[in-house]
Structure 1
Amino acid sequence: MILVLISPRQAGLPFAQWLPEEAGRLVAVTADGAPVGEGFTEVVTVPDYTDDDAVLTAAREMARRHRPRAVLALAEADVERAALLRRELALPGLDSTAAAAYRDKVLMKRYASAAGLPVPAFAPVAGVDDITDFMAAHPGRVVVKPRSGSGSTGVHVLDAPGQADALAEQVAGGSYEVEEFIDGTLHHVDVFRAEGEPVAAVASRYTGAGCLTHWEDAPLGSRNLDPADPLHERLVRETWRLIDALPSPDTLCAHAEFFVTDSGRIVLCEVAARIGGGPIPAMLRHILGTDPRELWARVECGLPVALDAVRDHARTAPRAAFCGIPPKHGRVLRLPEPPPGTTDFVLNTRVGDDWSGERYRLRKSGDFLATWVLTDPDPAVLDSRLAATARLVGAGFGWDDTDSGRYDTDSGRYDTGSGRYDSEPGRYDTDPPAPVPATSGRTAGGAR
């Protein structure tokens, strides 16, 4: 039996198609109402998938009945849960020590720094005083973010110590960190290793402000670098150094993010022991020749994979890019058509979908309403097509700002001005909604 932990964002993935040898031997734990795909012998649901105790209790009961030989989990939220279950069940895979290092941004930077990798100056945060003390010792902008967060949620960029007071309730309890703001371009490196041998390593560059573009309601994109580009080689080398610095198993996948400064310095942002989220798997499929989630699912479950074919495809694949359109504040009035020349176009919304108020405030960097992939052997052409399709898809949406949508970062409230989008998508009668955090930085955090 294979026990699969399925986050609602992963629901519907074709696990049974990816693991045909395990037909009749797949069981799962997921959330109530999640549209789990076919092929599971038993599925147990929990009311709240963010409740660790509920998910683990359901998984342990499932394990007691079915005695799984592997635990498979693709979501960030399940990394530590799956590791704990593997330890309890004496199963192979990422263990709890490694999972903690890949989840906790303070621990991962301690490991990386001890190995000589460049990291931002950082410190754990248990209260506002820790932030102000850090800012006194490290003048300039800082980033405050959850130690184990994902999707750029809970991230704040501060310019002055006085701004920390507004975070007092949020950071109390020790679950946050503060680090110096690194001004650079955010890149990501997606790697796979099996039994100690590298399978693939793909270095890519995010567009614009990286994973904070959703603060400005702007599209997020990424394009893989040419393997012959010296920066590609440097980023890949730094990623393997990072993985060796952490208590990593011989077999793993990882999604690492690095800042590259104007001087060419590479500085760690963060790393996760999982496949990148959002449209990254769709982009990687064109580079690897297979869905990376299928690749990892088979490796994790000990099933055969044509790894040499993956290596060969990655060396000869065309350049690929993805783009995603985030929500704006309001209700969706009109949907775009797939732009010509793209693949893997996905709409994650419908007419009438309401992104006003709290839902908009709590949006994640991966909350894309539309995503797609482009391929082209010419990087310059690919960049141009990426920008053109982003404009086309963005203009295809229509919006109605249902409750005015201007977010005031000082009061934490939406104002009561007119703030109404006109009928031509992407245009406003007044200024667009301000980003949620107090100050948005160019490359302050990662997608995770």
Structure 2
Amino acid sequence: MILVLLSPRNAGLPFAEWLGEEAGRLLAVTARGVDPGPGFQAVETVADYFDDTAVREAARRLCERYAVTRVLALAEVDVERAAALREEFALPGQRPESARAYRDKVRMKELAAAGGIRVPAFAPADSPADVLAFMAAHPGPVVVKPRGGSGSTGVAVLDTPDDLPAVADRIRAGDHEVEEFVAGRFFHVDALHAGGGPVVSVPSLYTDGGCLSHWTDSGNGSWTLEREDPLHRRLVDETWRLVAALPAAPALFVHAEFFVTDADEIVLCEIAGRVGGTPIPAMLEAVLGLDPRHLWARIECGLPVDLDAVRAHAHAAPLVANFGLPPRNGRITRVPTGAPDGTRDFAVLAEVGEDWGGARYAGRKSGDFIATWLVTAAGEGELLALLAKTEADTEAAFGWDLVAAAVEEER
């Protein structure tokens, strides 16, 4: 039986369809009030899905009651939990040493640097004094982030020591990292390693601002690189060098991020041992021929996959761009009534009356979108022109009742 660690963000995924051979025999741990969908024989719920102890205890109860053969985790928060359960119950898949390297940004960079990967200067930060010492040794802007964070949550760019008080309490809470700010274009590479070797790698370039665009209420996305682009091969090679530098796992789906500086140097940002967040799965589905979460779920659960078909589809795919609009600080008064011309997989992820103001807005992640879509084209120029037009059309189709502070900022 397969145990699915089901983050609420992944509620609604068709696990019974993806894992058809096991439908009706699936097990799940999820948050209270979440419907896991059909196909599950038993479900354990927890009040707070971010409570590691509660989630692991619920998973253990299922492992002790049923003959669990695999543990499936699609969310960042579940990567280390799943690895610990595999270790405890002697199950196949990624183990804790490897999982930690793909989550802990300090350990990750230590191993990457030892493997010859260019990384920014970095250091653990357990107190504001650690950040001040780092800034004294490395003049210029720095980035402070949680060591195990995702979706750009908790990331702060400090231009000078005067900016430190705003994040001091967060740093004192522990488990943070500080690193030098790297200027340059921002890329991601989504890659699958299975069956003893690399299967497919998809390098893409983020739009301006990348995953920090939501800080300025700007949409963001990325587009796949042309195979003829010299950076295509360089980024693919660097990704596999990075994977080789980290502790191995029987199979991996990775989402790696790199900067390319004005001096044409590739510098690691970070790498995650999971499929990239929304709307990257939709873009990868257009490239690979099936949802990458579907692909990874079957591989992780030991079920057959036609990897040659995946390779062939990726080789023949057109250029694809994904894009998403972030929420504003207020309440939604109007949503699009149809898909803008030129889009595919257009999805409105919000409704009239939904309130994104206040604390919810302050805690938004880079993957929180009110609408997402794809565009495809034969060449980069055509692709980017279509992306810009569809962004403008979608933005205009939404209406907002902004909170007073947001209205003043716009003025």
Bin the TM-score by the shorter chain: over 0.9
Cα deviation code 1:372-412 (max 9, x no counterpart): 111111111011101110111011110001x4134xxxxxx
Which whole-Å CA distance do the structure 2 matches of 1:250 and 1:16 have between them?
24
Which whole-Å CA distance do the structure 2 matches of 1:338 and 1:174 have between them?
44
Q: How does 1:176-187 map to 2 (within 5 A)?
A: 176-187=176-187
AA at the equivalent of 2:131: I
Which whole-Å CA distance do the structure 2 matches of 1:228 and 1:99 have between them?
34
Q: Which residue of 1 aligns with 2:360?
A: 359
> Does the 8 Å contact 1:227/1:315 carry over to 2?
no
Cα deviation code 1:277-316 (max 9, x no counterpart): 0110100011011111111011011111000010111111
Q: Which residue of 2 aligns with 1:426?
A: none
Q: How does 1:194-233 map to 2 (within 5 A)?
A: 194-233=194-233
AA at the equivalent of 2:344: T
Q: Which residue of 2 aligns with 1:416?
A: none
User: What SS does structure 1 have at the residue aligned with 2:40?
Assistant: coil
User: What SS does structure 2 have at the residue aligned with 1:165?
Assistant: helix
Q: Which residue of 1 aligns with 2:374?
A: 373
Q: Which residue of 2 aligns with 1:432?
A: 410
Structure 2 length-normalised TM: 0.98
TM superposition shift of 1:162:
2.4
List alignment gaps of at least 5 residues for structure 1.
Answer: 407-418, 420-429, 434-448
Structure 1 length-normalised TM: 0.90
TM superposition shift of 1:432:
2.8
Give the aligned CA root-mean-square deviation in angstroms: 1.1
Which whole-Å CA distance do the structure 1 matches of 2:12 and 2:405 have between them?
33
Cα deviation code 1:10-61 (max 9, x no counterpart): 0110011011111222111111122322111112211111111111111110
> Does the 8 Å contact 2:194/2:252 carry over to 1?
yes
Q: How does 1:277-296 map to 2 (within 5 A)?
A: 277-296=277-296
Q: Which residue of 2 aligns with 1:384?
A: 385
Which whole-Å CA distance do the structure 2 matches of 1:51 and 1:314 have between them?
38
AA at the equivalent of 1:367: D
> Does the 8 Å contact 1:207/1:220 carry over to 2?
yes
> Does the 8 Å contact 2:342/2:390 carry over to 1?
no
Cα deviation code 1:131-161 (max 9, x no counterpart): 0110100000000110000111111111111
Which whole-Å CA distance do the structure 1 matches of 2:223 and 2:367 have between them?
16
Q: Which residue of 1 aligns with 2:346?
A: 345
AA at the equivalent of 1:43: V
Point out the more displaced range, 20-29 or 365-374: 20-29
Which whole-Å CA distance do the structure 2 matches of 1:102 and 1:142 have between them?
22
> Does the 8 Å contact 2:8/2:31 carry over to 1?
yes
Greater relative contact order, per chain length (Cα 8 Å cut-off, separation 6+): 1
Point out the more displaced range, 240-249 or 32-41: 32-41
> Does the 8 Å contact 2:347/2:372 carry over to 1?
yes
List alignment gaps of at least 5 residues for structure 2.
Answer: none
Q: Which residue of 1 aligns with 2:96?
A: 96
Which whole-Å CA distance do the structure 2 matches of 1:177 and 1:111 have between them?
15
Which whole-Å CA distance do the structure 2 matches of 1:92 and 1:228 have between them?
38
TM superposition shift of 1:173:
4.2
TM superposition shift of 1:231:
0.3
Which whole-Å CA distance do the structure 2 matches of 1:338 and 1:96 have between them?
43
Q: Which residue of 2 aligns with 1:142?
A: 142
Q: Which residue of 2 aligns with 1:443?
A: none
> Does the 8 Å contact 2:94/2:250 carry over to 1?
no
Runs of 4 or more, structure 1, over 3 Å off, are none
AA at the equivalent of 1:384: A
Percent identity for Structure 1 against Structure 2: 58
AA at the equivalent of 1:19: L
User: What SS does structure 2 have at the residue aligned with 1:41?
Assistant: strand
Which whole-Å CA distance do the structure 2 matches of 1:147 and 1:432 have between them?
34
